[in-house]
Amino acid sequence: MLSEKLRKIINEQINKEFYSSYLYLAMAAHFDANALPGFASWMKAQAAEEWTHGMKFYEYLYEVSSYAELAAIAAPPVKYGTPEEIFKTVLDHEREVTASIKGIYDLAKAENDPKTELMLHWFINEQVEEEKNAQDILDKLKMTGGNAFGIMFLDQHVLGARKAD
Ligand code: FEO
């Protein structure tokens, strides 16, 4: 049986994952409005992936005979800066998610709940990848120095080449 504290914090994480999905969709909308379809498509794939993260936590609650309580999802920002600024925001956001998952992990350990700890291993590994992906794109954007041709190259050949997971 899941403790009340863990149930609450996992429900909060579901909200954070769905917010991440919404945030990346808002970034996709920005790129679609600014003639960068490759960046938009990368963000849409990321938004879909975040939705599956939220659902993984949701399903876990029912696996351990607990339950989900869905709260309102906050509105993401409407205005965004340059692609480089956006990916800096993505990296910062993913670092916050990593810290948040570590918080759940610490609680599961403190409560001696090995099943929840084990479930979180997947997310801990996933966050390594999420931060690396954001960092790699940010590094490439820095290389362009804001040059439009460089950004268009990344749009078409790097971000636009991402396959849906
Ligand atoms: Fe669900 Fe991007 O972490």
Q: What is the pTM of this model?
A: 0.96
Q: What is the residue-level pLDDT of the chain in tens, covering all 165 positions?
A: 899 999 999 999 999 999 999 999 999 999 999 999 999 999 999 999 999 999 999 999 999 999 999 999 999 999 999 999 999 999 999 999 999 999 999 999 999 999 999 999 999 999 999 999 999 999 999 999 999 999 999 999 999 998 765
First to last CA, the chain: 32
Q: What is the four-CA torsion angle of 83, 84, 88, 90, rounded to 10 degrees?
A: 20
CA distance 154 to 122: 30
**Residue 41 · residue 50 · CB < 8 Å:** no
Q: Which atom of ligand 1 is nearest to the CA of 97?
A: 3
Q: How far is the CA of 125 from the centre of ligand 1 (A)?
A: 11
Which domains are present in the chain?
Answer: 4-161 (1.20.1260.10)
Q: Which atom of ligand 1 is nearest to the CA of 49?
A: 1
**Residue 53 · residue 17 · CB < 8 Å:** yes
**Residue 47 · residue 76 · CB < 8 Å:** no
- For 97, phi then psi, to 5°, come to -65, -40
Does residue 53 line the site of ligand 1, with CB under 6 A? Answer: yes
CA distance 161 to 77: 26
Among 40, 17, 15, smallest CA distance to 30 is for: 40
CA distance 72 to 146: 36
Q: How far is the CA of 15 from the centre of ligand 1 (A)?
A: 11
- pLDDT score recorded for residue 103: 98
**Token pair recorded at residue 41:** 């498509």
- pLDDT score recorded for residue 44: 97
CA distance 54 to 44: 16
